[in-house]
Amino acid sequence: MVEPETFTFLADLAKNNRKAWMDDHRADFDDARRNFTGIAMTLHDYADRFDPSVADAKIKPKQSYSKLYQEPRDRVGRSLYRADVDIFANAGHPQEDFGYYLHIEPGNCYAGAALFQPSKAALARLRARLVDDPVELQGILADPEFKSVFPDGVATRRELNVVPDGFLSSDPAAPYLKMVGLGCRKEIPEALLLEDEVIDLLIEIFCAARPLVRFFD
């Protein structure tokens, strides 16, 4: 699944997050991108085992994984590049539609379903869905199968201090409305991702996450 050289490249990039270093390691970067694309294609090939809508979708290689280069408006700190990658298995676009993903980062790998970096329009749709039926969402999060795989429920990579304008702090969905994108995740040992057989674990994780994806469809 994940090639050892990919983990090595990402670890080295985290220590040498500079354009000059990246330019000197362009071949390693190209090898990592081929690995990312191959993983995305594998997830798509097995999608009929966790979500037929993904299996029926036409894979878009250029949209199948997050980019390492960070645009100035998206940067955290001074790093030019991300030293991690999200590989998507989506029926739509990963910035527009809730879907499945695999996060690869040395020492911090996990998989699940999310819309973590939504466009402005996608975030508005996500919030509207939350307000429309928070009870159904709570039911999904309380389901024993979902809880067994995702005991922490849903999380976000960025949270507001207050609910956004136009919503009430008393709304039952308020805790989720503060989330600028959200999703669920299950940690995966790095060593397992080196094995092709890890696809069976990923399918199990994605099957457990499917009700959450369907909720936001």
Distances in whole angstroms, Cα of residue 180 to Cα of each of 1, 61, 88, 157: 30, 26, 19, 7
Q: Which of 70, 42, 3, 16 is nearest to 202 (CA)?
A: 42
Q: Is residue 151 over pLDDT 70?
A: yes
The pLDDT value recorded for residue 77 is 66
Q: How confident is the model at residue 58 (pLDDT cuts 50, 70, 90)?
A: confident
pTM for this entry: 0.93
Higher pLDDT pick, 12 / 217: 12
Q: Domain coordinates of the chain in residue numbers?
A: 4-215
The pLDDT value recorded for residue 209 is 98
Q: Which of 202, 194, 196, 188 is nearest to 51 (CA)?
A: 202
Give Dmax over CA atoms of the chain in angstroms: 54
Distance CA 214, CA 193 (A): 26
Strands 85-89 and 99-104: antiparallel
